[in-house]
Copies of this chain bind each other. A is one copy, B any other.
Amino acid sequence: MTLVEHSPLTRKLSAFVALSEVELAVLERLHERRRSFVAGRDMVHQGQSSQAAYILSAGWVCSYKLQADGTRQIVDFQVPGDFLGLRSVLLRTSDHSFEPIVDIEAAEVMTSDLLDAFAQTPRLATAILWAASRDEAMVVEHLVGIGRRDADARMAHFLLELASRLALVGMGSKDGYDCPLTQYHLADALGLSAVHVNRVLRQLRESGRVTFRDGHVTIHDHDRLVDLAEFDPAYLDQIGPLLK
C-alpha cells in the first residue's frame, strides 16, 4: 500500500469511486508538490489570478470573502482531503481568500496537472466533479442556514456537518472531533456575533447535546442534536461508492 492510499483526499474520493491502481497512481502524482503554510497568513488573496489549487493533507483552512466595509464573511472551512481553490483555478480569478487556521500541509496542483490527470483517467475527473458538487451542496446548506435557521439550529447543523466530513477522512466520529476554530470563526461563518455564539454554545452544552471546549467538540446526544438541526446528511453523499 502506497502513501497516497492513506491520503485524506483518497479516502474521501473512495466514498464516490472505487479507485483502481492506475487511478491511485494518477492521484499520487497530484500530491507530488508538497508545501507548508503557516497559520494566519493568506495563501490566496481574493482577486488574485493565475494561482494554483491545493489538496489539503493536514490542518484546517478557512475561505472567506472581504466586504467593502472591511468585514469578512467566512464561506466555508476546509479540512484534510479538501481542495483549496479548485473553483478559482478554473475561474482564473479567485473570488475569495484562503487563510490557514493552523499550520498546514498541502500539495500544489496546477491547472495543467488537473487536465493531465483527467485525460489519463476520466473517472477521476468525475470524482473531482463529485467533490466539487459536495462543496457546492455545503455552501447551499450554509445559505439556507443563514437565510432560514435560527442560531441554535444553525450551530448544531454546522457542528454535525463537520463531524460527518471529518469522520469520512478518519479524523473523528459521531462522538466528537478535534476542532481548532475559535468563536470568532464560528461567528463569521454563521452570521452571528461572538457573544451570541457563546450563548448558543452554552445552551447546547446545558441541554446535554454537545460541548465545544478546549479545541474539542464532544457530541453527547447525537440524535437530539440531529433533531434540533434537522440535519439530513444525504447532501454529503457518504454512503459508499457510486462508481464500482
Task: Mark contacts of A214-244 with chain B using CB atoms, 8 A cut-off: 1 yes-contact digit, 0 otherwise.
Answer: 0000000000000000100011010100110
Residue of B nearest to A114 (CB): B126
CA distance A130 to B115 in the complex (A): 12
Which residue numbers of A lie inside 8 Å of B, CB to CB? 16, 47, 65, 67-68, 71, 73, 75, 86-87, 90-93, 95-96, 111, 114-115, 118-119, 122-123, 125-126, 128-130, 132-137, 139-144, 146-148, 191, 230, 234-235, 237, 239, 242-243
Complex contacts, A137 vs chain B, CB 8 Å: 87, 91, 95
Closest chain-B Cβ to A164's Cβ sits at a distance in Å of: 13
Copies of this polypeptide in the complex: 2
Complex contacts, A235 vs chain B, CB 8 Å: 91, 93, 95
**CB distance A140 to B234 under 8 Å?**
no
Return the contact of A125 from the options B68, B95, B122 (Cβ within 8 A). Answer: B122
Q: List 13 A-B contacts (CB under 8 A).
A: A73-B143, A73-B144, A90-B133, A92-B234, A92-B237, A93-B235, A111-B242, A115-B122, A118-B118, A125-B125, A125-B126, A136-B136, A136-B139
